[in-house]
Amino acid sequence: MSQATAVLSVDCEWFQHTPAYRGARGSVDSSAVGTEGMSFLLDAFESGDVTSTVFVVGEIAKTHPGLIERIVSAGHEVGSHTQTHAHLDELSSDDHHREVERARETLSAVAGTDVIGFRAPSFAIGDGHFRTLDRAGYTYDSSIAPCRSIPGWYGGSHRRVRPGPASVFTEGAPSSITELPIAVMPGLSLPLTGTWIRFFGVRYTLYGMRLLARRGITPVLYVHPWELVDLPAVEGVPRRVYVRTGSWMRRAVTRLLESRFSFVSMHSLLDD
C-alpha cells in the first residue's frame, strides 16, 4: 500500500499583515514578526525531506529577497498571497486584478520561476475571482474553505471538498483554473489547520487527515509563520490569536511532519 500524501502549505505573511493586528490599537516595533517562524519551517521541511508550497505576500518578496531565494533553492514552490494581503472581497474589480497581477509579477521576478498558484487572504475572494486569476495568468487557486459558516470569519459558501475545475465551484468560472480546497473535518466541517489545530490539538488534525485519505482526498493544510513565534502583546488583538502560538505550534508542526504522510507541493496535485 502506497504512502498517503498531504500538503502542508505556508501562507507567508507577517503578524502585521493579519486583520487582527491591522484593527488593533497598539503596535509592535519590529516590521516583520514571523521571520523566525519561516526559518523554523524551512529547517523542519529540510529535516523531514518535505516539499511545500509557500504562498508569499508580494511585498515580502521585495523586502526579503533572500528568503525567497532560500525557498526556491530548497525545492519548494512559490505561490501568491496577493501583493499587500488585502481582502479581495473589499476591493473593486480593478483593484482586485492589480493585487493578484502585481503579486505574480513581483514573485516571479524575485523567485526566477513562474508563479501559477494563488491563495486569498482569509479565503475572501469576491465576485469574478476566478476570471481575474485567469486574466492574470494563474493556473490554480486554493482559496476555497468548504466549511460551515463561521460568524466573523469565513465559510458557508461552498461544500465541495474535492479538487476540480473552478467552474464546478462557481457558475461561469473558467475551467482553466483548478481549485484545490483546504482540508476540513468530515462531518464537523471545520478546517483542519490554521487556528483550528491550535484550538483542537494535533490529534484532531491527524484524525481528519486520515479520514480524508481514506476517501481518496489529499489533505491540504496551511500554517502561518507568525503562529510559530512568541507574539508580542498588542493592545486590541483578540486573545484567541495568541492561543498556543510559539513553542506549542512548533511542536505541532514537527508532529505533523513525523506522521505517516508524504508531504508534497500544491503543484504536484495538478498531476492527479
Instruction: Report the share of the chain in percent with pLDDT over 90.
Output: 89
pLDDT digits (tens, 9 = 90+) for 112-142: 999 999 999 999 998 999 999 999 999 999 9
Q: What is the C-alpha to C-alpha distance for residues 267 and 272, in angstroms, rounded to an integer? A: 10
Residue in the structure block whose three cell numbers are 465541495 = 160
| Among the four given CATH numbers 3.20.20.370, 3.30.980.10, 3.30.830.10, 3.30.420.40, the one describing domain 4-270 | 3.20.20.370
- State pLDDT tens for residues 9-36: 999 999 999 988 988 888 888 889 999 9
pTM: 0.96
Domain ranges of the chain: 4-270
- As a whole number of angstroms, the distance between CA 191 and CA 148 comes to 9
- pLDDT over 70 percentage in the chain: 99
pLDDT surpasses 50 at 61: yes
Mean pLDDT of 178-205: 96
Structure confidence by residue, pLDDT tens digits, 239-257: 999 999 999 999 999 999 9
pLDDT of amino acid 1: 46
pLDDT value of residue 270: 94
How many angstroms from the chain centroid is the CA of residue 250?
Answer: 17
DSSP per residue, 45-59: HHHTT---EEEE-HH
